[in-house]
Amino acid sequence: MKQIKYIGKYTVLEGVRDKILYVSLFIIIALIIFSFYLSLLTLTSPDIAFLSFSFYFLKAFSILALTFLTVFQLYKDKRKRAYEIVLTKLYNKAYYIWGKFIGYNILYLITVSIVSLFIFLIVYILWNEIMLKIFIYPLILSEQFFILSAIIFLLYLIFTSPTLTIISSLAIFFASHFSLDFYLFTVKTAKGLSKYIYILLYYLFPNMELFSLEKNIIHNLTLTPLNFTNLLSYSIAYGILISFISGLIFNNKRDF
Amino acid sequence: MKTRKLSTIIIVFLLAILGFIYIKSEKALTNLYKEKEVEPLFLPISMLDVAFLKNRPAISEFYLISAIMHFVSENRDTEFIAKELYLGYKADPYIKETVFFLGNVLPIKKEDIEIANRYLRLAASYGIDWHIFLYMGYNFLFNLKEYEKAARFFYIASKLPGAKPYVQSMLIMAYYRKNDIRGALLYLTALYKETENPARKKLILKKIEWLQNIIELNEQVKLFYKKEGRYPKNLKEMVDKGYIQEIPKDPFGRGYYFDKKAKIVKSKW
């Protein structure tokens, strides 16, 4: 446990030292300022338009940036001399994967929380509204990244090139926003064995549509603590399950 | 040294030629686009769902901004803008600007009003919102002058949850314009029974009194016509001839008058 904690802490510090955090923050904040200018084009409620666009930019860019940065950082670490030393000192090789997994998730949570604070301040300064609900969004986003990062780590162990890892993990992330639509469609149309294969596929892929709660946050719709706990348990269960499998693969792989 | 100078000159020369070709081709392309009528690109919700990662409020805002951009452009296509606004509402029914734009800003010509109302009806099937029926009522009342339809839409709007009290006033206005004052009175009486708020009750009573005065005055005008064989010049003549004791006091303070063209008593309100 201590070793996982140490690797996680080192990953966060490395992210800060390598300017990953600052670069992502700078670009996301620039996009949020752009979304403010976009919101001026609407009619009566620029605050809602601003929140809609800034949430979109925050999600899209942070997911893209952190997927790229995580994968490149993992491959960069693999080339370092210290990599093998760290692995030999660990009780279990899988600790490396779990430590990195936790570290990147913490780094992501820090990034989106800082950006959310920035969005909150803009809304407060420009429209004099105290929207504490904005701070729910980084939590929902980090739940999504928990699932995505688990997939990234699994694919990192399957593929040998960073490009393939990035493309496939992003493809899974984008496609999983439509897995519920796919499920509803196939359940209605498919028959026999194919129906059960589709259902199995639905449960294999994560359902990211569950996390599309921007509407609830922006329009102050019901977002009960029960919903939130369900989401949290869903993401934690899926993320831990996948990262556990990744850990097992990593432990038994000889070329790593 | 000489060869380096020569190569530099050649590179500069080549760059100048490339720059010249770039500017020329850019101008030719711009002229080509000027002549060509650019068709507006229509994006369905499913495509935007992929691009916006199912962030429906952002999709709705995107449609709204796109519609505003097309609205201010020279080659305005009302059907296209109405479709975009309708899709914006479909994407997120909580963003009311889409239907506001569709119902209030877009209709300029008579054809536009028909298009707007067609899409407003479609929008109503995606989220029953009193605003949609209010805007349809507005279009029928003020632009198309179809008071019966306007009254019907205002009535639906007034019955939907969250409807503001001014919708009821709009309904009375539609009845009034339709010259169906008794209909308005019946509605107000029913409303008075339903309402519990004392301040609202007081206001409704005021409106009932206002309408009752109009009905009574109109009945006296009919009697005047029966006996005299002509319509009165004004309400004062009716007082002079003893049909009414005095001109009733308007509870809203604007007063009543006899409309010679319509041959009925109206309010200045």
Do residue B111 and residue B49 come from a single domain? Answer: yes
Token code pair at residue B111: 């054809």
Residues A220 and A136 sit within 8 Å (Cβ to Cβ): no
What SS3 class is residue A93? coil
Query: B10 in a domain, yes or no?
Result: no
Is any Cβ of chain A less than 8 angstroms from the Cβ of B106?
no
Query: What average pLDDT does range B254-262 have in this prediction?
Result: 82
CA angle B43, B44, B47 (to 5 degrees): 85
The residue assigned the tokens 């994967």 is A97
Q: Which residue, of B141, B167, B193, is where some domain finishes?
A: B167
Is any Cβ of chain A less than 8 angstroms from the Cβ of B53?
yes
How would DSSP label each residue in B35-66? HS-PPPPP--HHHHHHHTTT-HHHHHHHHHHH
Q: How far is CA B195 from the centre of its chain?
A: 28
**What H or E segment, with its residue span, contains residue A29?**
helix A20-39
Is any Cβ of chain A less than 8 angstroms from the Cβ of B269?
no
pLDDT of B38 reads 56
- Cβ distance A212 to B58 less than 8 Å, yes or no, reads no
Q: B81: number of CA atoms within 13 Å, CB side?
A: 26
Domain count within chain B: 2
pLDDT of A187 reads 79
Query: B60 in a domain, yes or no?
Result: yes
pLDDT of B14 reads 92
- Cβ distance B101 to A218 less than 8 Å, yes or no, reads no
pLDDT of A121 reads 92
Query: B230 in a domain, yes or no?
Result: yes
For residue B161, give its domain range. Answer: 45-167
Q: How far is the C-alpha of B134 from the C-alpha of B131, rounded, in Å?
A: 5
How would DSSP label each residue in B119-154? HHHHHHTTS--HHHHHHHHHIIIIIS--HHHHHHHH
* In chain A, domain spans: 2-177+212-252
- What pLDDT digit, counting tens, does each position of B167-203 carry? 877 888 788 777 777 777 777 787 787 777 888 788 8
Query: Which amino acid makes up residue A198?
Result: Y
Q: Which residue, of B137, B167, B197, is where some domain finishes?
A: B167
Across-strand partners of B267?
Answer: B256
Q: Is the dihedral of CA A206, A108, A64, A121 positive or negative?
A: positive
List all residues 6 or more positions away from B80 whose beta carbon is below 8 Å from its beta carbon: B40, B42, B70
User: Which chain A residue's Cα is nearest to B52?
Assistant: A56
Q: How far is the C-alpha of B266 from the C-alpha of B173, rounded, in Å?
A: 12
The alpha carbon of residue B54 is apart from the nearest alpha carbon of chain A, in Å, by 6
pLDDT of A254 reads 67
Is any Cβ of chain A less than 8 angstroms from the Cβ of B45?
no
Query: B32 in a domain, yes or no?
Result: no
Give B-chain residues touching A178 at CB under 8 angstroms.
49-50
Do residue B188 and residue B128 come from a single domain? Answer: no
Query: B4 in a domain, yes or no?
Result: no
Query: B110 in a domain, yes or no?
Result: yes
Give B-chain residues touching A60 at CB under 8 angstroms.
52-53
List all residues 6 or more positions away from A78 whose beta carbon is below 8 Å from its beta carbon: A256
Give A-chain residues touching B100 at CB under 8 angstroms.
43-44
User: Which chain B residue's Cα is nearest to A175?
Assistant: B50
pLDDT of A255 reads 64
Do residue B206 and residue B128 come from a single domain? Answer: no
Do residue B153 and residue B234 come from a single domain? Answer: no
Q: Which residue, of B167, B201, B226, is where some domain finishes?
A: B167
User: Which chain B residue's Cα is nearest to A218?
Assistant: B57
Q: A107: number of CA atoms within 13 Å, CB side?
A: 34
Q: Evaluate whether ipTM surpasses 0.90.
A: no
Query: B36 in a domain, yes or no?
Result: no
Q: Is the pLDDT of residue B34 over 70?
A: no
Q: How far is the C-alpha of A66 from the C-alpha of A144, rounded, in Å?
A: 12
Cα B262 to Cα B173, B178, B218, distances in angstroms: 17, 12, 11
The alpha carbon of residue A171 is apart from the nearest alpha carbon of chain B, in Å, by 11
Across-strand partners of B264?
Answer: B259
User: Which chain A residue's Cα is nearest to B69?
Assistant: A41
pLDDT of A151 reads 93
- Per-residue confidence band for B15, with pLDDT thresholds at 50, 70 and 90: very high
Query: What average pLDDT does range B32-47 have in this prediction?
Result: 71
Query: B133 in a domain, yes or no?
Result: yes
- Per-residue confidence band for B63, with pLDDT thresholds at 50, 70 and 90: very high
Q: Is the pLDDT of residue B36 over 70?
A: no
Q: Is the pLDDT of residue B40 over 70?
A: no
The residue assigned the tokens 């990244």 is A145
- What pLDDT digit, counting tens, does each position of B208-218 carry? 888 888 888 88
pLDDT along chain A (256 residues), means of 10: 78 79 83 88 84 91 87 84 72 82 89 90 89 88 92 90 92 89 82 84 87 87 83 91 89 72
Do residue B139 and residue B204 come from a single domain? Answer: no
Chain A residues contacting B, CB < 8 Å?
38-39, 41-45, 48-49, 51-53, 55-56, 59-60, 174, 177-178, 208-209, 212, 214-215, 218-219, 221
Do residue B161 and residue B59 come from a single domain? Answer: yes
Q: Is the pLDDT of residue B146 over 70?
A: yes
